[in-house]
Amino acid sequence: MEEVGNEKKMEMEIRRGPWTAEEDMKLINYIALHGEGRWNSLSRSAGLNRTGKSCRLRWLNYLRPDIRRGDISLQEQFVILELHSRWGNRWSKIAQHLPGRTDNEIKNYWRTRVQKHAKLLKCDVNSKQFKDTLKHLWMPRLVERIAASTQNVEFTPYDYSPENSSVATATSSSTSSESIGSSFYGGDQVEYGTLDQMTNNDSTLFNNGDAFDNMWSVDELNIWLLHSNLCDLI
DNA sequence: AACAGTCCCAACCGCGAATGA
DNA sequence: CTCATTCGCGGTTGGGACTGT
């Protein structure tokens, strides 16, 4: 009986909700000394009344020194759209190609920004219509804007069109994370921007923030959807 | 100024996979 | 092989911040 009572007491002491600065410091200091991993025992040893899960999440999504904060840049938006079109909601896999960004952040971005547009257009975010809108309208537009915003820095915008995109040509067997990591788009001969260039720390590349929302009007998108529907019927 | 509605993000939850005893 | 524990992922939620009326 007493044991059950103690367990209950332990459970009662487990903290939830927002982390305090003191808890953050405990976690940072402990990991600096002992490294990460073994989260449950780490939590106990560090003197944190948190679940191992909670500690892991806090570290990976917030405290890690290489976390990048701030708006998602045009380049990053493009990478997210591109990789999501290939892999779907594989947030952690997508995050691996966006240094400093977490799966949680990308997931939040997708839900708040991209799904918002789908909602405005009254179509499902997973529908062919919406995917086509992304591929044929949003992504080419993003490329234009990336090219415009990077004219003054050493970035070689590639000739993007949905047809030469790996979105259109890739098969599941031919896509690999390595191909994305080394050269952002396919062919070795073509001078494409590399992922590093797409996601480096150059402030001129990363201060474009929220441009996504203002790229086109709902009317513009609706006209395009109507047009693509008519084309499908013909 | 006050309120309602919406947006955004940190954090939690459930589940399946991996690992170890 | 089995069971328990831990880890990692994707989905969901709570609440503060922001915006519009």
Summarised one tens digit per residue, pLDDT across range A70-112 is 788 888 888 888 888 888 888 888 888 888 889 889 988 888 8
Is the same domain home to A56 and A128? no
Q: What is the dihedral of CA A116, A117, A123, A127, to 10 degrees?
A: -100
A68 domain-assigned: no
Q: What is the pLDDT of residue A86?
A: 84
Question: Residue A39 sits in which domain range?
Answer: 2-63
Our measurement of CA A92 to C1' C1, in angstroms, reads 33
| C-alpha dist (Å) from residue A178 to A84, A96, A104, A151, A206 | 16, 11, 23, 28, 24
A40 touches strand C (CB under 7 A): yes
* Spatial distance between the Cα atoms of A206 and A59, rounded to a whole number of angstroms: 24
- Quick one: pLDDT band at residue A224, thresholds 50, 70, 90? low
Q: Which nucleotide is nearest to A105 (CA to C1')?
A: B9
Our measurement of CA A145 to C1' C21, in angstroms, reads 35
A217 touches strand C (CB under 7 A): no
Q: Are A60 and A68 in contact (CB under 8 A)?
A: no
Our measurement of CA A139 to C1' C14, in angstroms, reads 33
Is the same domain home to A139 and A214? yes
- Quick one: pLDDT band at residue A143, thresholds 50, 70, 90? confident
Is the same domain home to A59 and A85? no
Structural domain ending residue among the three candidates A23, A44, A63: A63
CA A5 to chain centroid: 44
Range name among A4-13, A74-83, A101-110, A139-148 with the lowest pLDDT average: A4-13
* Cβ count within 10 A of residue A133: 21
Measure CA of the first residue to CA of the last residue in chain A; give whole Å: 75
Q: Which nucleotide is nearest to A95 (CA to C1')?
A: C9
A116 touches strand B (CB under 7 A): yes
Is the same domain home to A126 and A192? yes
Is the same domain home to A26 and A115? no
Is the same domain home to A106 and A212? yes
* Spatial distance between the Cα atoms of A88 and A126, rounded to a whole number of angstroms: 9
Is the same domain home to A19 and A93? no
A125 domain-assigned: yes
Our measurement of CA A125 to C1' C3, in angstroms, reads 41
Average pLDDT value for residue range A38-50: 87
A69 domain-assigned: no
* Token pair belonging to A154: 């050493």
A84 touches strand C (CB under 7 A): no
Range name among A18-27, A78-87, A178-187 with the lowest pLDDT average: A178-187
* Token pair belonging to A231: 């084309």
* Cβ count within 10 A of residue A7: 10
Residue at minimum CA to C1' distance from nucleotide C6? A38
CATH of the domain at A13: 1.10.10.60
* Spatial distance between the Cα atoms of A116 and A111, rounded to a whole number of angstroms: 7
Average pLDDT value for residue range A224-232: 52
* pLDDT, mean over chain A: 68
- Quick one: pLDDT band at residue A196, thresholds 50, 70, 90? very low
Range name among A126-130, A147-151, A180-184 with the lowest pLDDT average: A180-184
Is the same domain home to A138 and A161? yes
* Spatial distance between the Cα atoms of A144 and A27, rounded to a whole number of angstroms: 43
**A168: pLDDT strictly greater than 50:** no
Number of domains in chain A: 2
